[in-house]
Structure 1
């Protein structure tokens, strides 16, 4: 890889996409210059202030307003509010010369070729030769954009297409122009993966590239199927959501969020620019879509689309009458059959065999999808895995089309097509004749994909920096029980992977964790606790706690809590280094486990916090003890120690959850100088392994248990009790909230000791366990736990 470094980027165009991309570059520490056009006239506010068109505030109004709106939007585009300081704004007249000092110029202006060409002409006058220059177009051919530009410009020019929102969607399509240097493509491919945390996919310069070509086909195909089969909006969203590993917003809700106009724009582009596409007619908009566009029912941005909110009620559009009606529950017998199948990939075979309307729907839609993707090779890409990567990273599918086809069986997929009057491309039959019975295989922990030119399975490039647990689970298994699998990651490092529902931590998971530490202490050098599920862990198994508490089995409950605490302490005081690798939701016990590791290697997208108050208890797996300990570790000479302790107390009392790993440092859950953040979740296990090895190689010594924790006793307890009293008086918290807060106060103050005292961790753990147990005897706590188990939402009682 060339020694190119990106310290500064200029982003031209500050619309939703431009501002979002600017924020994501700021997220990874890059200095951003965000430019937009100068307004043509004053607005009312500016006139009232007596400003003129020459004032800087006016000249930068468009860019500043756009960036402010982006930063305020939800979900947040920044990992941390302070990262906005890495973005400087300006306009294309006064500040264009500054692009001479950047390492990369990215154009994100309106999707019109003539405007883009004018922008490039201006930029070329100031661009330093050798600087990367790219366009975030979603469909304009790259070859037209650089026409008439210099040789150096064309060599360093290509498309870099982000999906919106740029922070959250992982697809990064790179589209070469006719003269783009291979070095430039290689650099961007690696930069996307390593620094931006994306799935980089090099695509061909064909309309809508890879993600949107297949994604929009899939949606358009559904629009036609819905009418043919007379399905409702709700039925389609039920069939195309989490049951097949797609986002909760499924199909129609997703279109509402993205905007129907955006979808129509891309579909029309494919219709016009792909006359040879065998399914060209499918991109013709059905009548109901045309009517919706005419009525401006474009989705969230216009207040109504396929769904419409009326007061608190959400109504759905009847596609036959085009009137809104009450939402109906969708039920299918075939879906009931998959309820016990946890792994999405194992459901497809059952779904396509369904005897009802759902089974028919899946056969029709998968047959159409399989035929279509087989015909897009080599038109849009030479590699089948790139189509799967694009659909997973750009549309949030858990499995790409070829992976789903493999799950159903290649031959069974062909039979489904034939029943619909469709045929796969000839290369699929050639693949079967060559002896390859599937598109993918796994060998020695690596994934191989069928390669059409060589008619053989070839290793997919770029895997060496990843560890894919699915690929090594069977071959490298060291221990397994119903809650965990322990795998050998190589180089003397073990990994313990949770396997429970939502990765909750119950007795079997704790037994597996202890066993993993035993094995690691005996025969290995270090241990990682990590998995590649949607969430690291949503916390302790509250169902088990509820059962014991409801049946008043307090001795067993006491033992269970002690076992949890002891296991956390084992993480901290084992003879080998332990690394936690949280990502997604790491709540309650998942957070406590992370806080007890020697080091945390967190994914940037980690939502971590101690949320036990929501179910009427305090953190009981060492979390309350740990917050008291961390508060005392940050006491500095001259600090008002009570104020420091109060901040840590409020983090638990308000059940604060960090919305990124960077925010977790503010809450004291991650520790500066010790814990680190990884932007690309796919690299997380490999990075965690490397850090375990570093600690082991540096001569890790078993830590000594602490007996030097300063607690403030009565002085702190008094302050907390006065605070919770006034909060309850002003109806800010309920009586039961106050009871829980007072129990937490007792633990974090170290009890009602008459003066500040040094205590051991075990002393605090005993207080914590006692408080937790006593709260489990409260009726209101049991009501909260039961409500959470039933609805997934906290109850305020």
Structure 2
């Protein structure tokens, strides 16, 4: 790619602009954040915006301590800074006149090669670019981030006829690899693809909820996890997004689509308008479709105009329908007289009708619509995928019948192409209504990093649970390798247990994997297919698998299982080939201990790493406590005081702190400074394989076993215990929390020895086993464990 994006400028320090700047910092891209000047402190607006980011939830920064890395600027004195930026993103308010005035001001200061982008959520790029000279027009593009930019995978790219293909390719590469986005190309139409379809789905829900008299809580239960979508469903999600934001997007459709055959339903629903007029904008104002009253959750009853207790659920019979295979599921929903079933059929039908009518207008193919909805709205299936899985021809016939019967939201017939094809997606590509053929997804070098690129139902994409070449597989683990391009030189271990917990089967499989890797491969990568859909790396050791031994022999019966866990982690550490943990999602307890014992960790930004054993009344007993003791020695100059480094590491364990990102997990000591962080989840496996190959190519040698290190000893234990007593006396921790933390401190400090004494791994691992067994025998620990295993909340006894 001839165009490199090394530095970014963001114009506008509002909600979106500031968060885009924060995400650039997450990606280690220098960024300048511009806004209007003020008297006295010229950059006060941008300063306030960045200060607000630190308090915002969900957190825009991977590490809030890096907020100061955003360079602040204003339009009066700092426009010269634009010359050093390769990408300039305008993100000011959705006013055409304001945007055009800003463009006139900044255009003379842009570098000749710089890409100029607008983050508009729906204004036509053709109008925004009126008056541009040819040179600027070829570098102008729309890039629509979804809110919040750190977490939402979708970024829409919108080109004009004058936009240079190289500009689009460079920006798609940057968004995909550097910022970690799933890029969807959209046509220059109001609300583009994601909001155009997603908001229509919400409008359909409004319409049929009112028609059938269903409560918002019932609809949210129907349209949440039962459909493979966000647990918050439709109306609770609207509260989170902001009702004013939703109304703005609806208004864009109403203004910008005067000839849309569904336009009769584009007005802001009366109930939504009434809430906005009262200042009830959703979660940010404390009330919207829902309101919290103490611990109680209330939902709006539009008929009464007041809030009533929430908690309505889907009828059991409808829940059973939703568990059926797709063809039967939709037949049952359509034929049922149950209002909830009718609601679901009606919404699905109207969305299918809408996307069929508008496919050619808004996107090149069905692929863009399905991925936009999956990436931007959190659906596990796009609407065309669901239609296809339910039986393309049968569903098309039912939609046509409902249109003819006047049941649909528009009387516009389905386009002819619907009856000319058998599926929206196939091995040859996805259907393009505008081109009248199946088209392939875009191919750029950046996608070669994705061993498992986002695939769609029917397109023949590889299943990450079965792809590649299997070397060994049982009920607990799969050992395999990817094919081609040197990827077959590294063995991959993928767990198959619930939440990828580590029990006897996984332990045996890891031993086998290390043995095979040492004999035949350049490294071993531990990667979980579930990470592609937000699943865990590992929730830790399988405590349930330990219970039979405990019940039979008491605490002593646990030691062999615990030692087996320690031994396999040590084998990862001392393997003759590099071992790499590819982290994403939750990495807790034994999962964290596994990771820290590998030669290297490659982590997705959204990796939540921590040693949380104290929550179940235990200490990190798979080598985690020993690792932290050794790490404290590594962080302390020889002969120096170990306590400062030790206290920091101890606090994270004693408080069960979990990093809220890979960057924060690094600060907690669970990732090392040179462990790579990847922003695109689809690149994680490839990055881990390349890391293992790189280590091997550089002549990797494992640490020599038997190395010793200094420990803090009894004086540090006494200091920590005194602080724990103060916390207990202040009511901040329970007496049992104090006992647990004190035990953890004893192991991490090397036991009752003199400060600076020399210890080795074997000694501290034995201490772990000794205290782990004692704690497991305590009824309070058993109470905590049983609460966890029974799906309850952590017990603070």
8 Å Cα contact 1:107/1:136 also seen in 2? yes
Residue in 1 aligned with 2:19? 20
Q: CA deviation at 1:304?
A: 1.1
Q: CA deviation at 1:601?
A: 0.3
- Verify the 8 A CA contact 2:734 2:796 in the aligned structure 1: yes
In 1, distance between residues paired with 2:340 and 2:500?
30
Say if 1:371 and 1:425, in contact at 8 Å, map to a contact too. no
Structure 1 residues 745 and 86, CA gap change in structure 2 (3 angstroms): closer
Q: 1:661 Cα deviation (Å)?
A: 0.9
Q: Report whether the alignment pairs 1:474 with 2:457.
A: no
Q: 1:599 matched to which residue of 2?
A: 600
The Cα offsets for residues 269-289 of structure 1, whole Å up to 9 and x where unpaired, read as 212322333322232333323
Deviation at 1:217, TM superposition (A): 0.8
Change (3 A) 1:755 1:351: farther
Q: Report the alpha carbon displacement of residue 754 of structure 1 after superposing the two structures with TM.
A: 4.7
Separation in structure 2 between the aligned mates of residue 337 and residue 629 of structure 1, nearest angstrom: 53
Which stretch shows the higher mean deviation, 194-203 or 556-565?
556-565
Structure 1 stretches lacking a partner, 5+ long: 40-52, 442-446
Superposed counterparts of 1:127-276, under 5 Å: 127-276=110-259
2:360 is the alignment partner of 1:378: yes
Structure 1 residue 756 displacement after superposition: 4.0
What is the rounded CA distance, in whole Å, between the counterparts of 1:11 and 1:571 in structure 2? Answer: 44
CA distance in 2, matches of 1:657, 1:351: 42
Q: 1:414 to 1:552 in 2, by over 3 A?
A: farther
SS in 1 for 2:359: coil
CA distance in 2, matches of 1:87, 1:679: 19
Cα pair distance change 1:334/1:525, threshold 3 Å: farther
Matched, 1:526 2:510: no
SS in structure 2 at match of 1:378: helix
- Could you tell me how far 1:415 is from its partner in structure 2? 4.4
Alpha-carbon distance between aligned partners in 1 of 2:382 and 2:700, rounded to the nearest angstrom:
43
Tell me if 1:562 matches 2:544: no
Aligned to 1:45: none
Please give the TM-score of this superposition, normalised by the length of structure 2.
0.90
Give the C-alpha shift of residue 219 in structure 1: 0.8
The question of whether the paired residues in 1 share the 8 Å contact of 2:712 and 2:756 is answered with yes
The CA deviation string for residues 658-708 of structure 1, in whole angstroms up to 9 with x for no partner, is: 1111112221111123x1111111100011011112223334445432341
Q: Deviations over 1:328-376 (max 9, x none)?
A: 241432565489x8xxx97786576456555443332222222222222
- The one-character-per-residue Cα deviations of 1:622-662 (angstroms, maximum 9, x if unpaired) are 11111111112222135212222222222211111111111
Secondary structure at the residue paired with 2:231? coil
- Give the C-alpha shift of residue 314 in structure 1: 1.6
**Is the CA contact 2:609–2:659 (under 8 Å) kept in the aligned structure 1?**
yes
Q: Is residue 2:106 matched to residue 1:109?
A: no
User: Is the 8 Å Cα contact of residues 9 and 102 (structure 1) preserved in structure 2?
Assistant: yes
How far apart in 2 are the matches of 1:569 and 1:616?
A: 24
Q: What secondary structure sits across from 1:651 in the alignment?
A: helix
Q: Which residue of 1 aligns with 2:387?
A: 405
Which secondary structure does the structure 1 equivalent of 2:463 belong to? helix
**Residue of structure 1 equivalent to 2:28:** 29
1:368 matches 2:350: yes
Counting only pairs closer than 5 Å after superposition, residues 274-353 of structure 1 correspond to structure 2 as: 274-334=257-317, 337=320, 350=329, 353=332
- How far residue 547 of structure 1 moved from its aligned partner, in angstroms, is 6.2
Match of 1:492 in 2: 489
Deviations 1:168-198 (A, max 9, x none): 1121111112321111111111110011111
Q: Does 1:387 align with 2:384?
A: no
2:361 counterpart SS class: coil
Tell me the distance in 1 between the aligned counterparts of 2:73 and 2:576.
Answer: 55
Give 2:578's aligned residue: 577
Distance 1:278 1:513 in 2: 59
Query: Structure 1 pair 397/666, CA: closer, same or farther in 2 (3 Å)?
Result: same
Distance 2:177 2:89 in 1: 19
State the SS of the aligned residue for 2:60: coil
Quote the Cα distance in structure 2 between the aligned partners of 1:428 and 1:214.
18
Task: Name the structure 2 match of 1:48.
Answer: none
Paired residue for 1:42?
none
Q: Residues 530 and 169 (structure 1 numbering): CA distance in 2 closer, same or farther, change over 3 Å? A: same
CA distance in 2, matches of 1:112, 1:148: 17
Question: Partners of 1:523 and 1:112 in 2: how far apart?
Answer: 62
Q: Residues 743-754 of structure 1: matches in 2 within 5 Å?
A: 743-754=743-754
Q: CA deviation at 1:573?
A: 2.2
State the 1:406 CA deviation.
3.3
- Residues in 2 aligned to 1:405 and 1:570: alpha-carbon distance in whole angstroms: 49
Higher mean C-alpha deviation, range 777-786 or range 630-639? 630-639
Judge conservation of contact 2:5–2:174 (CA < 8 Å) in 1: no
Contact 1:546 1:782 in 2 (8 A): no
Residue of structure 1 in register with 2:514 after alignment: 517
Question: Aligned with 1:111: secondary structure?
Answer: coil
Instruction: Find the aligned partners of 1:405 and 1:619 in 2 and give their Cα distance.
Output: 48
Query: 1:732, 1:221 → 2: CA distance?
Result: 49
**What is the rounded CA distance, in whole Å, between the counterparts of 1:418 and 1:627 in structure 2?**
65
Gaps of 5+ in 2: 454-461
The residue number in structure 2 matching 1:620 is 621
- TM-score w.r.t. the length of structure 1 is 0.90
C-alpha contact (below 8 Å) 1:137/1:159 kept by paired residues: yes
Structure 1 residue 108, shift from structure 2 partner? 1.1
The CA distance in 2 between the partners of 1:100 and 1:363, in whole Å, is 54
Shift of 1:402: 2.3
- The 1:494–1:376 alpha-carbon spacing in structure 2 relative to 1, beyond 3 Å, is farther
Secondary structure of 2:184 counterpart: strand
Q: What does the per-residue CA deviation read over 1:578-618, in whole Å, with 9 as the maximum and x for residues that have no partner?
A: 11011121111111111111110001111111111111111
SS in 1 for 2:722: helix
Shift of 1:457: 6.8
- 2:459 is aligned to none
Deviates more, 1:700-709 or 1:164-173: 700-709
Question: Which residue of structure 2 aligns with residue 43 of structure 1?
Answer: none
- What do the CA deviations read for 1:194-227 (whole angstroms, capped 9, x no partner)? 1111111221101100111011011111111212
Q: CA deviation at 1:419?
A: 5.2
Q: Distance in 2 between matches of 1:459 and 1:130?
A: 27
Matches of 1:735 and 1:347 in 2, distance apart? 53
Conserved 8 A contact 2:429-2:438: no
Q: Residues 297, 713 of structure 1: CA spacing in aligned structure 2 closer, same or farther, 3 A cutoff?
A: closer
Other structure's SS at 1:604 match: strand
Are the structure 2 counterparts of residues 417 and 479 from structure 1 closer, same or farther at C-alpha, using a change threshold of 3 Å? farther
SS in 2 for 1:583: strand
Secondary structure of 1:581's counterpart equals strand
Q: Cα deviations across residues 61-90 of structure 1 (Å, max 9, x unaligned)?
A: 322222211232112211223422322223
Q: How many angstroms apart in 2 are the aligned matches of 1:762 and 1:429?
A: 70
Q: For the structure 1 residues 755 and 104, does the alpha-carbon distance in structure 2 shift closer, same or farther, using more than 3 Å as the test?
A: closer
CA distance in structure 1 between the aligned counterparts of 2:516 and 2:430, rounded to whole angstroms:
35
Residues 392 and 399 of structure 1 are in contact (CA less than 8 Å); yes or no, is this contact kept in structure 2? yes
Q: Does 1:669 align with 2:670?
A: yes
Residue of structure 2 in register with 1:694 after alignment: 694
Q: Which residue of 2 aligns with 1:439?
A: 425
Q: 1:23 to 1:710 in 2, by over 3 A?
A: same
How many aligned positions are there? 766
Distance 1:367 1:485 in 2: 40
Whole-Å separation in 1 of the counterparts to 2:754 and 2:36: 66
C-alpha distance in 2, partners of 1:350/1:549? 45
Is it true that 1:739 corresponds to 2:729 in the alignment? no
With over 3 angstroms needed to count, the CA separation of the structure-2 counterparts of 1:69 and 1:734, relative to structure 1, is same
Cα 1:268/1:226, change in 2 over 3 Å: same
Instruction: Give the secondary-structure state (helix, strand or coil) at the position aligned to 1:197.
Output: coil
**More divergent stretch after superposition (731-740 vs 634-643):** 634-643
Partner of 1:38: 37
What secondary structure, in the 3-state scheme, does the structure 2 residue paired with 1:431 have? coil
Which of 465, 469, 473 does residue 449 from structure 2 map onto? Answer: 465
Write the distance in 2 (CA, Å) between the matches of 1:62 and 1:697: 50
Q: For the structure 1 residues 117 and 523, does the alpha-carbon distance in structure 2 shift closer, same or farther, using more than 3 Å as the test?
A: same
